[in-house]
Chain A
């Protein structure tokens, strides 16, 4: 008979479920704790860090550290059924070994598909995140990813900008990564009030000019451009989301913020 299990939504919680029900894992359905109170015929599993640690260590030692990393990424993926997938993959991989992951088994294929989807979204965001300078000299960017990738994404930028103050704000999950000169934290956010600095418009218009000039008109291929950069990413890209660029009066020559050489 199928057993319905509830866990607290953390990876440690899921590992505790795997520990407690390892032998019977194929007869379970695991769900994340939710606000809907239907505990009817469902068992809540209390997270036990010691048990979770033992599962984690066994995964690293008996299968591979790479597999643990893949589980973590699956856990943060958009797959709604990831808990059950991960639990079954753990059982099958302990049984068959690391090679199982590359097999044509349906769980292995779904597991790899999630990894691919997560990895490619992360890679795309590394390129398509756009920072703009806001109050107090923060560089701020908004993202709306399908997978929960904010930490890995932010660590990428932390390596690049250890001396900057920056914010990455995940609008889908209401959380933001704050980094101030190398010190960082992940916080929950209801509403982020952003005031762009004056120089932003100048750099945005420079970037848009560059974007337009770099394309070869004789080779125009919008279909290819869109397939490389799907429209769901356009919202936060200045070059694709052109709110009216104010035309400045031509009578006065606008000062562009840089000095002339000649």
Chain B
């Protein structure tokens, strides 16, 4: 089989993976090396589905010994199989990188022979890139579940970001859908990685040239909607992962029923809007100072799909609003629906110079379409009159572009 055919098969098998981020690594190039990390990440193209292409995202192989119910590559599924050699994929990566097609490599793999055997092949590939080609660009690899901890450490010393996929928010669902994977071993691998990263940080404080360990941290992925887990289950799980293992990101992947299985046959469509709302909530956890209990609770365990979680929170806590834009702190401003970090910074910078009124927002090119119901500008309210929370929710759902676009498809 030639490289083009392999590339087609192994890209096709990797395409459902959500992550393609190349951000977070500040790895520098050496004088004779090739490549470096770009902290903000760089997109190199956009595919026909509108998603950014940043990394060469492929599987090392799709020949798998496992039989997970949700996976296209399960051994009982009838698909064409292929496998790269470490050298072949390293050469491809370097040649794509030099042409600036990609920002780096994102590699995961099916499990051939055993988890450790597969890990060793991936590590060999990373070794060729780093040591033979002196490549300092971005590498994101997925650790193989069940691989031994010293191999995970070895990989961590070579790559920028590692992910260990938790797959499902509920451990019993994992047992059912991926009987050969083990929830405890996934969590303990995450814990190992986290501890090793803390250790590397301390070493760098002592020896300047101590080796980097996963400068862009670790991430994980959860499948959404394959079982009956609630939104609350999912974001509480994410929150605990952020708290306990300092993950950089949790990715959510709406379950696409690509393989037939008795366990998932009641699902006929990927819950894309739900996935979108979870991402919005995830952002609120990581960057906006929210906790999962602010967003959902046992009485209300599901997101209102019509409006984003921040708007929902603001309406549920409407007594905290409206906020005066000349007085509100940065942390308060970013909690206003329709105002994010960019707008908040712009408001802060502009009011240092002069007191702002409603027309100032217009000249600062800040859209007030969504924010107007939650702010005061120089003491004045320009929002709509509403008599109940549900009335305001209805009104806000009209200006939610996702809600409108996606619900109208259904």
Q: Which residues of A does B touch, CB under 8 Å? A: 96, 99-106, 109, 123, 126-133, 139, 141, 157, 159-164, 182, 203, 205-207, 209-225, 228-229, 237, 239, 253-254, 256-262
Interface centre among A103, A254, A259 (most CB of B within 10 A): A103
Residue of A nearest to B136 (CB): A160
Residues facing A in B104-147 (CB within 8 A) are 137
A159 near B29 (CB under 8 angstroms)?
yes
Q: Which of A109, A141, A213 contacts B100 (CB 8 A)?
A: A141
CB neighbours (8 Å) of B57 from chain A are 214
A209 near B4 (CB under 8 angstroms)?
yes
Residue of B nearest to A139 (CB): B98
B29 near A160 (CB under 8 angstroms)?
yes
B350 near A131 (CB under 8 angstroms)?
no
- B363 beta carbon closer than 8 Å to chain A: yes
Instruction: Tell me, rounded to whole Å, the shortest Cβ–Cβ distance linking B10 to chain A.
Output: 9
Interface residue range, chain B: 35 or more
B364 near A109 (CB under 8 angstroms)?
yes
A215-B137 in contact given A109-B363, A203-B96, A209-B8 (Cβ < 8 Å): no
A261 near B85 (CB under 8 angstroms)?
yes
Contact pattern, B 58-73, Cβ under 8 Å of A = 1, otherwise 0: 1000000000000000
Residue of A nearest to B10 (CB): A213
Instruction: Tell me, rounded to whole Å, the shortest Cβ–Cβ distance linking B326 to chain A.
Output: 13
Q: Which of B36, B44, B95 contacts A127 (CB 8 A)?
A: B44
CB neighbours (8 Å) of B11 from chain A are 209-210, 213-214
Residue of B nearest to A126 (CB): B42
Residue of B nearest to A181 (CB): B32
B364 near A104 (CB under 8 angstroms)?
yes
B46 near A229 (CB under 8 angstroms)?
yes
A160-B7 in contact given A127-B45, A213-B12 (Cβ < 8 Å): no
Additional A-B contact list (14), CB under 8 Å, known A161-B98, A216-B51, A256-B2? A102-B353, A139-B98, A162-B29, A205-B4, A210-B7, A210-B56, A211-B53, A213-B11, A215-B47, A216-B15, A219-B49, A220-B49, A260-B1, A262-B83
CB neighbours (8 Å) of B83 from chain A are 261-262
Residues facing A in B318-362 (CB within 8 A) are 346, 349-350, 352-354, 356, 360
B47 near A160 (CB under 8 angstroms)?
no
CB neighbours (8 Å) of B35 from chain A are 160-161
Q: Which of B43, B99, B354 contacts A203 (CB 8 A)?
A: B99
A215 near B48 (CB under 8 angstroms)?
yes
Residue of A nearest to B97 (CB): A160
Residue of A nearest to B347 (CB): A102
A96 near B48 (CB under 8 angstroms)?
no
A162-B32 in contact given A109-B365, A220-B48 (Cβ < 8 Å): yes
Q: Which of A128, A164, A225, A259 contacts B49 (CB 8 A)?
A: A225
Q: 7 tightest A-B contacts by CB?
A: A102-B349, A224-B50, A261-B85, A103-B353, A215-B47, A213-B11, A221-B50
B53 near A214 (CB under 8 angstroms)?
yes
Q: How far is the CA of A96 from the CA of B353 in the complex (A)?
A: 9
Q: How far is the CA of A121 from the CA of B208 in the complex (A)?
A: 36
A128 near B99 (CB under 8 angstroms)?
no
